[in-house]
């Protein structure tokens, strides 16, 4: 993790050449943080890719959206390039214009930020990064022809196509299984490690899952730093079986496939009557699942020439038609800057809906960041403390570690890991499964 040296930028913007201090918001203000690297390297790279793909795919876009889309393509490529410049110059987080459903929520949030924390490098990392993805959406929403265009769709679909071998192996290994804690543990861990294929971490470069997924679950056991699977099983196995499990999606491609494998097991084994999936309302962090990605994935499987995958796709489409699988109504809160402990106040209806569930499964690194807040908690702080009162029902988080925050570790564990590899928190090599009861 090395950022381009730019002493002028650092001096001009008051960048502090240090790690994030304890009990402080994570921010790109600290040069030795992953947030600084994110805003100096990763996000500018993501934006350059979007601008370049608009130029590269121009003919295809004109064929789909009409000849009049040419002006939109040029305007959006220029606006995305300008956004990249704004970030590289630590520009301000300005209010949004337009009439999108979440404009008011975002602007109220920005208005409450202290004035000295309203730029990309001075604001809390979570807020700035979410703002950037909302800003890209605003650029496209403002154009007549491309407002419905998902500029990450092709990358997400490519990720799924690259995963077919792994998908097939998992399907064959899960067609006949038992309702017991051992099988559930395997599927939860399969689902956890599916989170390693994350395009936002690689700025969109594809990661192909390889090898036998269940062998990997065993091989990766030493990398699982916290394993709350037994408590999750107890919560769901002890429930009536006619309840709801909510899954808060993270990535499309192979990961959402493993979400669906876990959801299928929950329904087939009578652990719940319904699994609700919570998708993103706008293109988000490159690979996050939107409603159309869910439907595309099921159709991609149903149309697959291999009968095992085809049957699986059709079965999941049937589950969706029957209401056993349900896409929750689009919810702007998931693409807001808010941490989850603020949900009860900011979106009480969503909090109340989550209270209906027997269990909520939060997937991936960004959901973990929103559960904890981008805050430098001591690594040994308890998960329950870090949730800051966010306890709508039993909840768990399945997260491969891709950002420099964590909680719930034993004494000395973080220090041992840092001694082995100073970037252990950034690679997705380690995982946590954490649980909090209602």
Q: Say which CATH number the domain at 77 has.
A: 1.20.930.60
Q: Please report whether residue 298 resides in a domain.
A: yes
Q: Say which CATH number the domain at 309 has.
A: 3.40.50.10880
Do 335 and 402 lie in one domain? The reply is yes
Q: Please report whether residue 185 resides in a domain.
A: yes
Do 136 and 199 lie in one domain? The reply is no
Do 298 and 390 lie in one domain? The reply is yes
Integer CA distances (angstroms), 101 to 97, 107, 131, 281, in order? 11, 12, 15, 10
Are 243 and 236 in contact by the 8 Å Cβ rule? The answer is no
Half-sphere exposure of 5 (CA within 13 A, CB side): 0
- The secondary element (H helix, E strand) that includes residue 397 is strand 395-400
CA–CA gap between residue 347 and residue 333 (Å, rounded): 7
CA–CA gap between residue 202 and residue 276 (Å, rounded): 29
User: pLDDT value at position 234?
Assistant: 97
**Digits of tens for pLDDT over the chain (438 positions)?**
666 667 799 999 999 999 999 999 999 999 999 999 999 999 999 999 999 999 999 999 999 999 999 999 999 999 999 999 999 999 999 999 988 999 999 999 999 999 999 999 999 999 999 999 999 999 999 999 999 999 999 999 999 999 999 999 999 999 999 999 999 999 999 999 998 865 555 555 666 676 678 888 899 999 999 999 999 999 999 999 999 999 999 999 999 999 999 999 999 999 999 999 999 999 999 999 999 999 999 999 999 999 999 999 999 999 999 999 999 999 999 999 999 999 999 999 999 999 999 999 999 999 999 999 999 999 999 999 999 999 999 999 999 999 999 999 999 999 999 999 999 999 999 999 999 999
Q: Please report whether residue 133 resides in a domain.
A: yes
Whole-model pTM?
0.96
Do 138 and 161 lie in one domain? The reply is no
CA–CA gap between residue 438 and residue 434 (Å, rounded): 13
CA–CA gap between residue 132 and residue 7 (Å, rounded): 24
Out of 96, 113, 142, pick the residue that ends a domain. 142
Both tokens of residue 368?
């973990």
Q: Please report whether residue 1 resides in a domain.
A: no
Do 339 and 379 lie in one domain? The reply is yes
| CA 155 from centroid of its chain's CA atoms | 15
Do 349 and 422 lie in one domain? The reply is yes
User: pLDDT value at position 211?
Assistant: 67
Domain that residue 23 falls in:
7-142
Q: Please report whether residue 382 resides in a domain.
A: yes
Do 293 and 327 lie in one domain? The reply is yes
Out of 142, 161, 186, pick the residue that ends a domain. 142
Q: Please report whether residue 2 resides in a domain.
A: no
Q: Please report whether residue 342 resides in a domain.
A: yes
Helix, strand or coil for residue 227?
strand
Do 240 and 307 lie in one domain? The reply is yes
Q: How many domains does the chain have?
A: 2
Both tokens of residue 343?
């949900």
CA–CA gap between residue 216 and residue 88 (Å, rounded): 39
SS3 annotation, the chain: CCCCCCHHHHHHCCCECCCCCCCCECECCECCCHHHHHHHHHHHHHHHHHHHHHHHCHHHHHHHHCCCHHHHHHHHHHHHHHHHHHHHCCCECCCCCCCCCCHHHHHHHHHHCCHHHCECCCCEHHHHHHHHHHHHHHHHHCCCCCCCCCCCHHHHHHHHHHCHHHHHHHHHHCCCCCCCHHHHHHHHHHHHHHHHCCCCCCCCCCCCCCCCHHHHHHHCHHHEEEECHHHHHHHHHCCCCCCEEEEECCECCHHHHHHHHHHHHHHHCCCCCEEEEECECCCCCCCECEHHHHHHHHHHHHCCCCHHHHHHHHHHHHHHHHCCEEECCCCHHHHCCCCHHHHHHHCHHHHHHHHCCCEEEEEHHHHHHHHHCCECCCCCCCHHHHCCCCCCCCEEEEEECCCCCCCCCCCCHHHHHHHHCCCCCCCCCCEEEEEECC
In 222-335, where do the E strands start and end?
Answer: 224-227, 244-248, 274-278, 325-327
CA–CA gap between residue 247 and residue 263 (Å, rounded): 8
List CB contacts of 212: < 8 A, sequence separation 6 or more.
169
Do 108 and 191 lie in one domain? The reply is no
CA–CA gap between residue 133 and residue 354 (Å, rounded): 25
CA–CA gap between residue 80 and residue 51 (Å, rounded): 6
User: pLDDT value at position 376?
Assistant: 97
Do 271 and 348 lie in one domain? The reply is yes
With tokens 């693409």, the residue in question is 335
Helix, strand or coil for residue 276?
strand
Query: To 5 degrees, how large is the angle CA 291–CA 296–CA 299?
Result: 135
Query: To 5 degrees, how large is the angle CA 46–CA 406–CA 396?
Result: 95
Out of 80, 113, 142, pick the residue that ends a domain. 142
CA–CA gap between residue 414 and residue 407 (Å, rounded): 10
Do 135 and 169 lie in one domain? The reply is no
Do 137 and 157 lie in one domain? The reply is no
């Amino acid at each position: 993790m090395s950022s381009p040296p730019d002493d002028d930028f650092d001096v001009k913007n008051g960048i502090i050449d240090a790690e994030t201090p304890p009990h402080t918001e994570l921010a790109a203000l600290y040069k030795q943080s992953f947030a600084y690297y994110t805003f100096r390297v990763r996000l500018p790279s993501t934006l350059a890719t979007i601008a370049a793909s608009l130029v590269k795919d121009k003919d295809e876009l004109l064929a789909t959206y009409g000849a009049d889309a040419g002006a939109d393509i040029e305007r959006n490529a220029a606006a995305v390039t300008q956004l990249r410049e704004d970030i590289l110059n630590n520009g301000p987080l300005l209010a949004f214009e337009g009439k999108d459903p979440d404009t008011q929520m975002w602007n109220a949030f920005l208005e409450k930020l202290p004035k000295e924390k309203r730029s990309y490098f001075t604001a809390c990392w979570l807020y700035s990064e979410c703002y950037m993805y909302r800003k890209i959406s605003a650029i496209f929403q403002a154009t007549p022809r491309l407002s419905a265009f998902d500029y990450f769709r092709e990358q997400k679909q490519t990720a799924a196509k690259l995963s077919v071998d792994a998908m097939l192996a998992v399907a064959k290994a899960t067609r006949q299984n038992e309702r017991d804690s051992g099988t559930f543990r395997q599927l939860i861990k399969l689902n956890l490690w599916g989170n390693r294929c994350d395009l936002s971490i690689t700025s969109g470069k594809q990661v192909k899952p390889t090898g036998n997924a269940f062998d990997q679950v065993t091989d990766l056991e030493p990398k699982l730093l916290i394993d709350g699977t037994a408590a999750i099983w107890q919560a769901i196995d002890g429930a009536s079986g006619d309840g709801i499990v909510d899954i808060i999606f993270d990535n499309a491609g192979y990961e959402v496939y493993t979400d669906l494998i876990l959801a299928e097991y929950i329904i087939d084994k009578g652990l719940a009557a319904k699994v609700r999936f919570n998708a993103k309302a706008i293109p988000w962090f490159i690979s996050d699942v939107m409603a159309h990605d869910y439907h595309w994935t099921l159709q991609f499987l149903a149309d697959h020439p291999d009968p095992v995958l085809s049957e699986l796709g059709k079965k999941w489409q049937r589950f969706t038609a029957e209401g056993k699988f349900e896409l929750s109504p689009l919810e702007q809160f998931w693409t807001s800057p808010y941490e989850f402990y603020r949900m009860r106040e900011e979106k009480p209806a969503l909090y109340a809906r989550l209270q209906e569930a027997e269990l909520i499964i939060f997937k991936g690194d960004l959901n973990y960041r929103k559960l904890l807040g981008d805050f430098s908690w001591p690594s040994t702080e308890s998960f329950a403390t870090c949730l800051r009162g966010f306890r709508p029902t039993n909840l768990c988080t399945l997260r491969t570690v891709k950002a420099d925050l964590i909680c719930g570790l034993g004494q000395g564990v973080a220090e041992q890991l840092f001694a082995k590899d100073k970037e252990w928190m950034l690679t997705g090599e380690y995982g946590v499964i954490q649980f909090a009861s209602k």
